[in-house]
Amino acid sequence: AKAAGRNNYQFYAERMSAAAARHFELETQLHGALARREFTLLFQPIVTTRERRTACLEVLLRWRHPQRGLVGPDEFIPIIEENGLIVPIGEWVIRHACEQAVAWRRAGVRAVPLAVNLSARQFMQRGLVESVRRILDDTGIDPAQLEFEITETALMQHGGATLETLAQLDCMGIRLSIDDFGTGYSSLAYLKRFPVHKMKIDRAFVRDLETSGEDQAIVAAIMALAGSLQLAAVAEGVENAAQLELLRRHGCDYAQGYLFARPLAADQVPLLLAREDGA
């Protein structure tokens, strides 16, 4: 038993140091990744549940790692949140998304709002509103074409400053969604005061929707809340027709998920929108 215990410990220590080494390696490489142009954006449609027509595109960041290939944000966002690189990288995401919107418009593509994710640290950063204003000026895009998604947890963390930042973005005409709704703890009083426009129902409540009465009750409750606060609701992670049907029945007007489309490269978006328009 003692030997086994020791082996377990050794195994654990080795695994830990492998994870730590990987973290260290990624962190080092992340420092130059922006300058080396290793980041890229994908775009995932958010569709109307009735017509399945794209109403918005969520902007999703990817890191083209020279050895590891495409690395997803769950692996590197926590690292750059911690070391502060989220601020310049996040700014690049907003700017690049707006530039993409301009390029699509010039190519005659139907204008669809782009929803950019903002993490807690970006949202707290003092220069955010200024930097967004500069990007809007530089690219000349209509602020109504830009939306931000902020997680419920990030929103609820910072009371007063949050409200101020949200109000300024709202004044500029940028719409805001509460991301991953239902996974954090919202104060209903705050929800009412925040100038937000959409709630995104977290994938956790959609995954087992067909079989879980509990998840159906949660979705019904979120829909009732969205209704009384006059917010639009978007369901995340919709993968099959049964989920879509239930969401429709609960009055959810928008959905996103593999049932409709995976996150797409920029050059695939015009084709998708043209197909929807019957071109």
Which x/- pattern, by CB under 5 A, does the window 80-119 give for Ca ion? -------------------------------------x--
Establish if 77 lies at the interface with ligand C2E (CB under 6 A): yes
SS (H, E, C) 240-278: CHHHHHHHHHCCCCEECCCCCCCCECHHHHHHHHHHHCC
With respect to ligand C2E, which residue has the nearer C-beta, 113 or 237?
237
Candidate segments 68-76, 157-165, 208-216, 219-227, binder of ligand C2E by CB under 6 A: 68-76
- Nearest residue (CB) to ligand C2E, 152 versus 236: 236
Site string for ligand C2E, 32-51 (x = CB under 6 A): ------------x-------
> Is residue 93 near ligand C2E by the rule CB under 6 A?
yes
Please, are residues 119 and 145 in contact by the beta-carbon 8 Å criterion?
no
Chosen residue from 147, 179, 215, 253 binding ligand C2E by CB under 6 A: 179
Residue 150: strand pairing partners: 118, 178
Between 105 and 203, CB nearer to Ca ion? 203
> What's the CA dihedral at 129, 145, 253, 184 to 10 degrees?
-20
∠ CA 44-233-115, nearest 5°, is 35
Nearest residue to 148 via CA among 99, 85, 197, 78: 197
**Which of the stretches 104-112, 171-179, 214-222, 259-267 binds Ca ion when contact is defined by CB under 5 A?**
171-179
Planar angle of CA 140, 142, 148, nearest 5 degrees? 110
**Which one-letter amino acid corresponds to residue 63?**
W
C-beta of 58 vs 253, nearer to ligand C2E? 58
Q: Which residues contact 112 (CB under 8 A, 6 or more apart)?
A: 54, 55, 56, 57, 145, 273
179 binds Ca ion (CB under 5 A): yes
Provide the binding-site residues for ligand C2E, judged by CB under 6 A: 44, 60-61, 72-74, 77, 90, 93, 117-119, 149, 179-180, 236-239, 256-258, 263
